């Protein structure tokens, strides 16, 4: 992809996947990779930061004699995700409008 990936966009993708269901790192990476080129080594620092910020919690579950670390979105994470979704809607509307009409869209505060 030619467009820059900011941390807020990556955070919102991670939170969106986890809002659907708890999962472990590999599956989370595969889900995010469907839309953004990302490696597990890039994703794990993001997960640690989101956990440190209180947006995720973790728990371990045994799987074939080993523990898998699962990630779970917190209520604070859901609030942050909603904020990101609102911001994305406004941003996308402005970008779509400038691409289609050559001018920035005016976003009303009533959205």
Q: Note the pLDDT of residue 2.
A: 67
Q: Using one digit for the tens of pLDDT, what is the confidence trace for 28-75?
A: 999 999 988 888 888 999 999 999 999 999 999 999 999 999 999 999
Which stretches of the chain are DSSP H helices? 7-20, 25-33, 40-52, 75-101
**Tokens 């990936």 label which residue?**
5
Q: What is the CA radius of gyration of the chain?
A: 16
- pTM here is 0.83
User: d(Cα 53, Cα 14) in Å, to the nearest integer?
Assistant: 14
CATH architecture of the domain with residue range 7-101: Orthogonal Bundle (1.10)
- Sign of the Cα torsion 43, 44, 50, 53 reads negative
Q: Using one digit for the tens of pLDDT, what is the confidence trace for 6-25?
A: 889 999 999 999 999 999 99
Q: What single DSSP character describes residue 55? A: S
Domain ranges of the chain: 7-101
């Amino acid at each position: 992809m030619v467009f820059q990936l900011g941390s807020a966009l990556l955070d919102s993708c991670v939170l969106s996947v986890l809002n659907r269901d708890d999962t472990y790192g590999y599956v989370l990476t595969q889900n995010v990779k469907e839309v953004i080129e990302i490696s597990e080594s890039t994703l794990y620092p993001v997960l640690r930061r989101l956990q440190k910020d209180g947006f995720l919690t973790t728990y371990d579950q045994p799987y074939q004699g080993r523990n898998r670390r699962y990630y779970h979105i917190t209520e604070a994470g859901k609030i942050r995700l909603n904020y990101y979704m609102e911001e994305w809607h406004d941003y996308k509307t402005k970008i779509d409008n400038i691409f289609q009409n050559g001018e920035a869209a005016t976003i009303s505060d009533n959205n």
